Structure 1
Amino acid sequence: MTSTLSRSVLVTGASKGIGKGIARVFSSKGDRVAVLGRDLSAVESTVAEIRAAGGIALACAGDVTSKASMAAVVEAVVGEWGSLDVLCANAGIFPSASLETMTGDDWDTVLNTNLKGTFISVQAALPALKQSAAGRIVVTSSITGPVTGYPGWSHYGASKAGQLGFIRTAAIELARYGITINAVMPGNILTEGLDGMGDDYLAQMSASIPLKRLGSVDDIAHAACYFASVEAGYVTGQTLIIDGGQILPESLAALG
């Protein structure tokens, strides 16, 4: 696949995990990457890594739940590079709470960040994306919610399923501007969040996946790069599961 060079890319939730991987891979393909997160020191650390590898990156502190904050971030990106071509709406949280103990505030916090934050990020980026020759939006959803469930994550699952409903109507509305919007749906990905869980835990997780390994952040990043590419210009409102085949077996017995 031929990459499109020298685009301006904004990645939310990019100071660690999947977002950091997305930012790093876009940069490796020659794009200028704005790294957004709430913790400026963590953002600056990611930017330093990208620059050390020869990339061009901009540190942005912001909050995806705030329209004013996201408008300021987009303004800063356009002010720095003159354009915004790609938005990767990746920011998300996943605290655990059972239905019996979950509070309304627990629910609102997750939905506000994961679902409303996607809407706010897209809305803030639209004026700039409309000026791009090939505006692209890539949302990080999950298999949890749209396809699978996991105890303690009913609010998270609802937010991730909601993102898919959002992109399908957004795709219709944005098509008139030549902007595409699609979603990646990660399975179990090896990130900092799994540090300290222990080898037995990781082995158990890997055993439930046909490819017998957890995914890497780069696996998700390369899928995001495809959706953002010129070659994917006729793809919109679609989803791509990247899970090593995790959702396929009817039971562990199917894995032999």
Structure 2
Amino acid sequence: MTPQDSTTEETTPPSGSVPEPEGTAPEYGLHRRLRLMGAVLAGGLAVVLALLLWLGVLVPAKQEAAGYSDADAAYAAVAIEHNAQAVQLTALAPGRSTDDEVLALAVEVGEASAGRVRELADWLEARDIPVPTAGREALALAEDGLDTELPDDGSGPRSGASAHSHEGGNHGMLTDEQVNGIAALHAQDFDIALLAALVEHHYGGLQPADEEITEGEDAEAKALAQAEADAIRVEVEKVRDVLAAIGGPGSNDGSGS
């Protein structure tokens, strides 16, 4: 056998075998990429399904075990925002009001509102629910002291960007423009504007409180709502009495309307 014949025999495929067609390697690569994509999509779908399971099953189950509902949590958040604005409004009084009775009432209402914020924040934190930023800012204002004049930019001693983000028109909440308008006043004009705003603001807070009392599930949240509703009605009467005494709406000296 010549060397040429030997080389031919060694390189000739055995009988019955079929050489790999050209293009096999690229096709194999495509199949591999498709399998990889399928695995990624399957993993993503698993994550989505797990999230839906958590939202649809585990969260309600946790709420049921803790005895509260979405409505309870929503009330707590809304009530915190509402009471936080009351704190911010009453914090305007030092440096603007010259009436001792108005100043004392502002401190009383502000501290009571801050107390409600603290109770509602405790309720949320005990259930691992975030506390609205406005609530934390209001508590910081109250800690600084609502009977002392705090430095501000002319629109009130409010801290943080969210303190100026009230949409207004909901449950008696004031808009930024309304708050800024009150903050621009002094003496009797300020007193009348502040107390009139507090009356409307407090009345607005009765709706979510009354809804929680009748529709809530958590016993503690319902008790907080009942306490708030009772306090609001008492505070409104005090504010109305002082408002009338200084010549605001409801007074009998002819200067109010």
Shorter chain as normaliser: what TM range?
Answer: under 0.3
Q: TM-score, normalised by structure 2?
A: 0.25
Q: Higher helix fraction: Structure 1 or Structure 2?
A: 2
Greater C-alpha radius of gyration: 2
Q: TM-score, normalised by structure 1?
A: 0.25
